[in-house]
């Protein structure tokens, strides 16, 4: 098991590294050339700025049982199809049971925006979000979520 991170804009990288060290797990951060990551622990894979290039590199390196940290529903869906686990930066653990609803909500939001409408902005990050993420990631690492 390894932890793979869609690291562009990921606000919980330090939490991931701390937990990975605690459990002795490797971490691979995927980013494009516009970001610099050097935490002294993670392997960093830098890809070109092409559309979704970091996402595809991450999925190409995913194997069964891995943990994927992403806020991208498409990446989470592909991870689940490879029998990996996926969690977002707020602690939401993606499952086959909640993915259809999430993808449908994304579709409806895109449809509203294309028609000129507005959707709500993401809420400002709170310390509670970090706690939820840490709890969810530990559950995945410890194997309590299947």
Span 95-104, pLDDT tens digits: 988 877 777 7
Mean pLDDT of all residues in 6-30: 95
CA distance 123 to 126: 9
Could you give the domains of the chain? 3-95+126-142 (3.40.50)
Tell me, what's the pLDDT at 146?
46
At residue 7, does pLDDT exceed 50? yes
Please state the φ and ψ torsions of residue 19, each to the nearest 5 degrees. -70, -40
User: Are residues 84 and 63 in contact, defined by beta-carbon separation less than 8 angstroms?
Assistant: yes
pLDDT tens-digit series, residues 29-64: 999 887 788 889 999 999 987 778 889 999 999 999
Torsion of CA 64, 21, 58, 109, to 10 degrees: 100
- What integer best gives the mean pLDDT of the chain? 88
At residue 90, does pLDDT exceed 80? yes
User: Are residues 81 and 74 in contact, defined by beta-carbon separation less than 8 angstroms?
Assistant: no
Tell me, what's the pLDDT at 106?
64
At residue 14, does pLDDT exceed 90? yes
| Single pTM value for the model | 0.85
At residue 134, does pLDDT exceed 90? yes
At residue 127, does pLDDT exceed 70? yes
Task: Judge residue 44's burial from the number of C-beta atoms within 10 Å of its C-beta, 0-12 exposed, 13-18 middle, 19 or more buried.
Answer: middle
Which one is predicted more confidently, 125 or 5?
5
Tell me, what's the pLDDT at 50?
72
């Amino acid at each position: 098991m390894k932890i793979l991170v869609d690291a562009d804009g990921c606000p919980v990288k330090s939490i991931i590294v701390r937990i990975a060290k605690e459990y002795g797990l490797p971490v691979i951060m995927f980013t494009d050339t516009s970001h610099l990551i050097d935490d002294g622990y993670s392997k960093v894979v830098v890809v070109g700025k092409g559309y979704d290039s970091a996402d595809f590199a991450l999925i190409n390196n995913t194997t069964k049982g891995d943990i994927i940290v992403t806020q991208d529903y498409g990446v989470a869906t592909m991870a689940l199809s490879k029998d990996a686990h996926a969690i977002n930066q707020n602690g939401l653990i993606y499952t086959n049971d909640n993915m259809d609803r999430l993808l449908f909500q994304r579709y409806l939001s895109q449809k509203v925006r294309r028609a000129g409408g507005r959707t709500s902005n993401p809420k400002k990050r709170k310390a509670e979000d970090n706690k939820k993420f840490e709890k969810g990631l530990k559950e995945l690492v410890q194997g309590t979520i299947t």
